Structure 1
Amino acid sequence: MKIVQFPTSQVVYFRRVGQYGPENQAVMQVAKQWVKRMQLTAAATILGIALDDPQVTPATQCRYDVCVATTIQSKEPVTRRQLVGGRYACFKVAHTAVAIQTFYQQLPVYLAQYQLIMADKPVIERYQPQFVAQGWCELLVPVR
Protein backbone atom coordinates (compact mmCIF):
# COMPACT_ATOMS: atom_id res chain seq x y z
CA MET A 1 0.00 0.00 0.00
CA LYS A 2 1.15 3.51 -0.76
CA ILE A 3 -0.56 6.89 -0.49
CA VAL A 4 -0.97 8.68 -3.83
CA GLN A 5 -2.45 11.97 -5.00
CA PHE A 6 -4.98 11.20 -7.73
CA PRO A 7 -5.28 14.14 -10.13
CA THR A 8 -8.57 15.78 -11.03
CA SER A 9 -9.30 14.49 -14.52
CA GLN A 10 -11.68 14.96 -17.40
CA VAL A 11 -13.06 11.56 -18.38
CA VAL A 12 -15.27 9.89 -20.92
CA TYR A 13 -17.40 7.31 -19.16
CA PHE A 14 -19.66 4.38 -19.92
CA ARG A 15 -22.26 3.39 -17.33
CA ARG A 16 -23.97 0.15 -16.43
CA VAL A 17 -26.85 0.00 -13.94
CA GLY A 18 -27.57 -3.27 -12.20
CA GLN A 19 -26.11 -5.76 -9.77
CA TYR A 20 -22.34 -5.58 -9.50
CA GLY A 21 -20.52 -8.63 -10.77
CA PRO A 22 -19.50 -10.32 -14.01
CA GLU A 23 -21.93 -8.20 -16.03
CA ASN A 24 -19.68 -5.20 -15.42
CA GLN A 25 -17.32 -6.80 -17.95
CA ALA A 26 -19.79 -5.90 -20.71
CA VAL A 27 -19.43 -2.17 -20.09
CA MET A 28 -15.67 -2.61 -19.71
CA GLN A 29 -15.60 -4.15 -23.21
CA VAL A 30 -17.63 -1.24 -24.61
CA ALA A 31 -15.07 1.19 -23.15
CA LYS A 32 -12.12 -0.83 -24.47
CA GLN A 33 -13.63 -0.87 -27.97
CA TRP A 34 -14.08 2.91 -27.81
CA VAL A 35 -10.47 3.32 -26.70
CA LYS A 36 -9.36 1.19 -29.64
CA ARG A 37 -11.48 3.18 -32.13
CA MET A 38 -10.00 6.42 -30.77
CA GLN A 39 -6.50 4.90 -31.08
CA LEU A 40 -5.72 5.50 -27.39
CA THR A 41 -4.72 1.91 -26.59
CA ALA A 42 -1.00 2.41 -25.98
CA ALA A 43 -1.39 4.80 -23.08
CA ALA A 44 -5.02 4.54 -22.01
CA THR A 45 -5.60 3.97 -18.33
CA ILE A 46 -9.08 2.64 -17.68
CA LEU A 47 -10.87 3.32 -14.41
CA GLY A 48 -13.73 1.29 -12.97
CA ILE A 49 -15.90 2.97 -10.34
CA ALA A 50 -18.70 1.36 -8.36
CA LEU A 51 -20.74 4.42 -7.41
CA ASP A 52 -23.16 2.83 -4.96
CA ASP A 53 -22.91 0.74 -1.81
CA PRO A 54 -24.72 -2.54 -2.58
CA GLN A 55 -25.52 -2.92 1.11
CA VAL A 56 -27.78 0.15 1.02
CA THR A 57 -28.67 0.52 -2.68
CA PRO A 58 -30.98 -2.01 -4.36
CA ALA A 59 -28.97 -4.21 -6.75
CA THR A 60 -31.07 -3.06 -9.71
CA GLN A 61 -30.00 0.55 -9.05
CA CYS A 62 -26.24 0.08 -8.51
CA ARG A 63 -24.17 2.13 -10.97
CA TYR A 64 -20.78 1.10 -12.35
CA ASP A 65 -18.81 3.52 -14.53
CA VAL A 66 -15.88 2.68 -16.75
CA CYS A 67 -13.88 5.83 -17.38
CA VAL A 68 -11.04 6.88 -19.65
CA ALA A 69 -9.15 10.05 -18.79
CA THR A 70 -9.02 12.01 -22.03
CA THR A 71 -9.92 15.34 -23.57
CA ILE A 72 -9.99 13.87 -27.09
CA GLN A 73 -12.95 14.95 -29.17
CA SER A 74 -15.05 12.07 -30.45
CA LYS A 75 -17.51 12.12 -33.33
CA GLU A 76 -19.35 9.36 -31.47
CA PRO A 77 -21.73 10.46 -28.73
CA VAL A 78 -19.98 9.99 -25.38
CA THR A 79 -20.69 11.11 -21.85
CA ARG A 80 -18.08 13.23 -20.07
CA ARG A 81 -17.53 14.38 -16.54
CA GLN A 82 -14.83 15.55 -14.19
CA LEU A 83 -13.41 13.13 -11.62
CA VAL A 84 -12.34 15.08 -8.58
CA GLY A 85 -8.90 14.10 -7.42
CA GLY A 86 -7.61 13.67 -3.93
CA ARG A 87 -5.65 11.51 -1.54
CA TYR A 88 -5.92 7.75 -2.04
CA ALA A 89 -4.43 4.61 -0.56
CA CYS A 90 -3.24 2.59 -3.54
CA PHE A 91 -3.32 -1.22 -3.28
CA LYS A 92 -1.80 -3.43 -5.97
CA VAL A 93 -4.08 -6.45 -6.52
CA ALA A 94 -4.06 -9.41 -8.90
CA HIS A 95 -6.17 -8.57 -11.95
CA THR A 96 -8.76 -11.29 -11.37
CA ALA A 97 -12.43 -11.08 -10.41
CA VAL A 98 -11.78 -13.22 -7.31
CA ALA A 99 -8.87 -11.06 -6.08
CA ILE A 100 -10.82 -7.82 -6.60
CA GLN A 101 -13.92 -9.20 -4.86
CA THR A 102 -11.76 -10.44 -1.97
CA PHE A 103 -10.17 -7.00 -1.68
CA TYR A 104 -13.58 -5.34 -1.32
CA GLN A 105 -14.61 -7.90 1.31
CA GLN A 106 -11.38 -7.30 3.25
CA LEU A 107 -11.37 -3.51 2.88
CA PRO A 108 -12.38 -2.84 6.52
CA VAL A 109 -9.46 -5.01 7.65
CA TYR A 110 -7.02 -3.09 5.43
CA LEU A 111 -8.32 0.26 6.68
CA ALA A 112 -7.75 -0.85 10.28
CA GLN A 113 -4.37 -2.41 9.51
CA TYR A 114 -3.02 0.81 7.97
CA GLN A 115 -4.97 3.09 10.34
CA LEU A 116 -6.79 4.80 7.49
CA ILE A 117 -10.11 6.62 7.51
CA MET A 118 -12.00 6.29 4.26
CA ALA A 119 -13.24 9.52 2.68
CA ASP A 120 -16.77 9.81 1.32
CA LYS A 121 -15.93 8.98 -2.30
CA PRO A 122 -15.99 5.71 -4.22
CA VAL A 123 -13.05 3.35 -4.62
CA ILE A 124 -11.42 3.61 -8.04
CA GLU A 125 -10.23 0.49 -9.86
CA ARG A 126 -7.27 1.64 -11.95
CA TYR A 127 -6.16 -0.47 -14.91
CA GLN A 128 -2.86 0.91 -16.22
CA PRO A 129 -1.60 -0.93 -19.32
CA GLN A 130 1.86 -1.68 -17.88
CA PHE A 131 0.35 -3.33 -14.77
CA VAL A 132 -2.47 -5.15 -16.57
CA ALA A 133 0.13 -6.72 -18.90
CA GLN A 134 1.78 -8.17 -15.79
CA GLY A 135 -1.53 -9.38 -14.30
CA TRP A 136 -2.10 -6.53 -11.82
CA CYS A 137 -4.48 -3.67 -11.23
CA GLU A 138 -4.65 -0.99 -8.55
CA LEU A 139 -7.48 -0.23 -6.18
CA LEU A 140 -7.48 3.38 -5.00
CA VAL A 141 -9.27 3.90 -1.71
CA PRO A 142 -10.11 7.54 -0.92
CA VAL A 143 -8.69 8.50 2.47
CA ARG A 144 -8.67 11.55 4.71
Structure 2
Amino acid sequence: MKCKTETIPNYRVAYVRRVGPYGPENIKVIEKLKRWAREKDLLKSAILFGIPQDNPETTQPETCRFDAYIVISENYEIDETMSENEISGGKYLVYEVNHTAVDIQKAYKNIFLAIQNNEFEMDNKPIIERYTGEQITNPYCDICVPVK
Protein backbone atom coordinates (compact mmCIF):
# COMPACT_ATOMS: atom_id res chain seq x y z
CA MET A 1 0.00 0.00 0.00
CA LYS A 2 1.48 3.33 -1.09
CA CYS A 3 1.69 6.01 1.59
CA LYS A 4 2.85 9.65 1.47
CA THR A 5 2.26 12.89 3.32
CA GLU A 6 0.54 15.71 1.48
CA THR A 7 -0.73 19.19 2.23
CA ILE A 8 -4.31 19.42 1.03
CA PRO A 9 -5.67 22.94 0.43
CA ASN A 10 -9.02 24.25 1.66
CA TYR A 11 -11.73 23.45 -0.86
CA ARG A 12 -15.22 24.81 -1.46
CA VAL A 13 -17.52 21.84 -2.09
CA ALA A 14 -21.05 20.89 -3.08
CA TYR A 15 -22.32 17.80 -1.29
CA VAL A 16 -25.01 15.24 -0.58
CA ARG A 17 -25.48 13.69 2.88
CA ARG A 18 -26.81 10.29 3.91
CA VAL A 19 -27.71 9.36 7.49
CA GLY A 20 -27.61 5.69 8.46
CA PRO A 21 -25.24 2.76 8.91
CA TYR A 22 -22.04 2.97 6.88
CA GLY A 23 -21.74 0.43 4.09
CA PRO A 24 -23.00 -0.21 0.56
CA GLU A 25 -25.66 2.52 0.76
CA ASN A 26 -22.86 5.11 0.78
CA ILE A 27 -22.06 4.14 -2.81
CA LYS A 28 -25.52 5.37 -3.84
CA VAL A 29 -24.75 8.79 -2.36
CA ILE A 30 -21.53 9.07 -4.37
CA GLU A 31 -23.33 7.91 -7.51
CA LYS A 32 -26.04 10.56 -6.95
CA LEU A 33 -23.33 13.21 -6.66
CA LYS A 34 -21.58 11.92 -9.81
CA ARG A 35 -24.86 12.04 -11.79
CA TRP A 36 -25.40 15.65 -10.70
CA ALA A 37 -21.80 16.55 -11.55
CA ARG A 38 -22.04 14.86 -14.95
CA GLU A 39 -25.22 16.85 -15.77
CA LYS A 40 -23.41 20.07 -14.82
CA ASP A 41 -20.31 19.05 -16.82
CA LEU A 42 -18.18 19.06 -13.65
CA LEU A 43 -17.07 15.43 -13.57
CA LYS A 44 -14.29 15.48 -16.19
CA SER A 45 -11.72 17.23 -14.00
CA ALA A 46 -13.38 16.62 -10.65
CA ILE A 47 -12.03 15.95 -7.20
CA LEU A 48 -14.54 13.90 -5.20
CA PHE A 49 -14.52 13.10 -1.49
CA GLY A 50 -16.41 10.56 0.59
CA ILE A 51 -16.43 11.63 4.23
CA PRO A 52 -17.75 9.54 7.10
CA GLN A 53 -18.55 12.22 9.68
CA ASP A 54 -18.99 9.95 12.72
CA ASN A 55 -17.09 7.15 14.44
CA PRO A 56 -19.29 4.03 14.19
CA GLU A 57 -17.73 2.73 17.41
CA THR A 58 -19.14 5.67 19.39
CA THR A 59 -22.17 6.72 17.29
CA GLN A 60 -25.36 4.73 16.83
CA PRO A 61 -25.36 3.31 13.26
CA GLU A 62 -28.72 4.89 12.41
CA THR A 63 -27.32 8.37 13.15
CA CYS A 64 -23.96 8.04 11.33
CA ARG A 65 -23.53 10.72 8.65
CA PHE A 66 -21.79 10.15 5.31
CA ASP A 67 -21.13 13.03 2.91
CA ALA A 68 -20.19 12.85 -0.77
CA TYR A 69 -18.40 16.06 -1.87
CA ILE A 70 -17.25 17.54 -5.15
CA VAL A 71 -14.84 20.46 -5.31
CA ILE A 72 -16.36 23.53 -6.95
CA SER A 73 -14.85 26.91 -7.82
CA GLU A 74 -15.41 29.93 -5.59
CA ASN A 75 -17.82 31.50 -8.08
CA TYR A 76 -19.77 28.34 -9.04
CA GLU A 77 -23.45 28.66 -8.14
CA ILE A 78 -24.95 25.41 -6.91
CA ASP A 79 -28.64 24.59 -7.23
CA GLU A 80 -31.11 23.65 -4.49
CA THR A 81 -30.42 19.91 -4.84
CA MET A 82 -26.96 20.29 -3.27
CA SER A 83 -25.61 21.68 -0.02
CA GLU A 84 -22.41 23.71 0.27
CA ASN A 85 -19.48 23.35 2.65
CA GLU A 86 -15.70 23.73 2.89
CA ILE A 87 -13.05 21.08 3.45
CA SER A 88 -10.45 22.26 5.90
CA GLY A 89 -7.02 21.71 4.43
CA GLY A 90 -3.82 20.78 6.16
CA LYS A 91 -1.31 17.97 6.44
CA TYR A 92 -2.63 14.51 5.57
CA LEU A 93 -1.21 11.02 5.47
CA VAL A 94 -2.40 9.65 2.10
CA TYR A 95 -2.83 5.95 1.29
CA GLU A 96 -3.76 4.83 -2.23
CA VAL A 97 -5.93 1.71 -1.94
CA ASN A 98 -8.07 -0.54 -4.04
CA HIS A 99 -11.62 0.48 -3.18
CA THR A 100 -12.87 -2.86 -1.87
CA ALA A 101 -14.17 -3.58 1.64
CA VAL A 102 -11.18 -5.86 2.38
CA ASP A 103 -8.54 -3.38 1.18
CA ILE A 104 -10.21 -0.43 2.93
CA GLN A 105 -10.30 -2.37 6.23
CA LYS A 106 -6.64 -3.36 5.79
CA ALA A 107 -5.71 0.27 5.13
CA TYR A 108 -7.50 1.48 8.25
CA LYS A 109 -5.68 -1.14 10.34
CA ASN A 110 -2.33 0.07 8.97
CA ILE A 111 -3.28 3.70 9.51
CA PHE A 112 -4.23 3.19 13.14
CA LEU A 113 -1.16 1.03 13.79
CA ALA A 114 1.07 3.84 12.52
CA ILE A 115 -0.75 6.31 14.76
CA GLN A 116 -0.57 3.97 17.78
CA ASN A 117 3.17 3.54 17.18
CA ASN A 118 3.47 7.33 17.51
CA GLU A 119 4.65 7.71 13.95
CA PHE A 120 1.93 10.34 13.48
CA GLU A 121 -0.58 12.18 15.64
CA MET A 122 -4.09 12.50 14.22
CA ASP A 123 -5.55 15.95 13.83
CA ASN A 124 -9.14 16.55 14.93
CA LYS A 125 -10.70 16.37 11.44
CA PRO A 126 -12.49 13.53 9.68
CA ILE A 127 -10.64 10.93 7.62
CA ILE A 128 -11.58 11.39 3.98
CA GLU A 129 -11.66 9.21 0.88
CA ARG A 130 -10.52 11.13 -2.19
CA TYR A 131 -11.17 10.29 -5.83
CA THR A 132 -9.35 12.19 -8.58
CA GLY A 133 -8.74 11.65 -12.27
CA GLU A 134 -8.95 7.98 -13.21
CA GLN A 135 -9.89 6.99 -9.66
CA ILE A 136 -13.38 8.34 -10.34
CA THR A 137 -14.01 5.53 -12.83
CA ASN A 138 -11.52 2.94 -11.52
CA PRO A 139 -11.79 1.09 -8.22
CA TYR A 140 -9.11 3.09 -6.38
CA CYS A 141 -9.18 5.91 -3.88
CA ASP A 142 -6.90 7.81 -1.55
CA ILE A 143 -7.61 7.54 2.15
CA CYS A 144 -6.48 10.85 3.61
CA VAL A 145 -5.82 10.94 7.36
CA PRO A 146 -5.41 14.37 8.98
CA VAL A 147 -2.17 14.53 10.98
CA LYS A 148 -0.30 17.14 12.99
> TM-score w.r.t. structure 1 length?
0.91
Residue aligned with 2:130, SS: strand
Aligned pair count reads 144
CA distance in structure 1 between the partners assigned to 2:28 and 2:9 by the alignment: 27
Structure 1 partner of 2:28 = 26
Answer yes or no: is the 8 Å Cα contact 1:13–1:68 preserved in 2.
yes
Residue 40 of structure 1: how far off its partner (Å)? 1.2
Answer yes or no: is the 8 Å Cα contact 1:11–1:67 preserved in 2.
yes
Pair 1:17-2:24 in alignment? no
Answer yes or no: is the 8 Å Cα contact 2:97–2:142 preserved in 1.
yes
Residue 95 of structure 1: how far off its partner (Å)? 2.2
1:140 to 130, 144, 147: 144
Answer yes or no: is the 8 Å Cα contact 1:95–1:132 preserved in 2.
no
Residue aligned with 1:93, SS: strand
Change beyond 3 A, Cα 1:14–1:75: closer
Residue 79 of structure 1: how far off its partner (Å)? 0.4
Query: After the TM superposition, which of the residue ranges 60-69 and 88-97 deviates more from structure 2?
Result: 88-97
Structure 2 partner of 1:124 = 128
Note the 1:87-126 alignment, pairs <5 A.
87-112=91-116, 115-126=119-130
Query: After the TM superposition, which of the residue ranges 68-77 and 25-34 deviates more from structure 2?
Result: 68-77
Matched letter for residue 65 of structure 1 = D
In structure 2, list runs of 5 or more residues that go unmatched.
none
Q: CA RMSD in A?
A: 1.7
Change beyond 3 A, Cα 1:101–1:87: same
Answer yes or no: is the 8 Å Cα contact 1:38–1:74 preserved in 2.
no
CA distance in structure 2 between the partners assigned to 1:60 and 1:98 by the alignment: 23
CA distance in structure 1 between the partners assigned to 2:138 and 2:57 by the alignment: 33
Answer yes or no: is the 8 Å Cα contact 1:126–1:137 preserved in 2.
yes
Matched letter for residue 128 of structure 1 = T
Identity %: 34
Change beyond 3 A, Cα 1:113–1:137: farther
Residue 112 of structure 1: how far off its partner (Å)? 4.1
1:82 to 66, 76, 86: 86
> TM-score w.r.t. structure 2 length?
0.88
Change beyond 3 A, Cα 1:30–1:110: same
In structure 1, list runs of 5 or more residues that go unmatched.
none
Residue 76 of structure 1: how far off its partner (Å)? 4.3
CA distance in structure 1 between the partners assigned to 2:44 and 2:79 by the alignment: 21
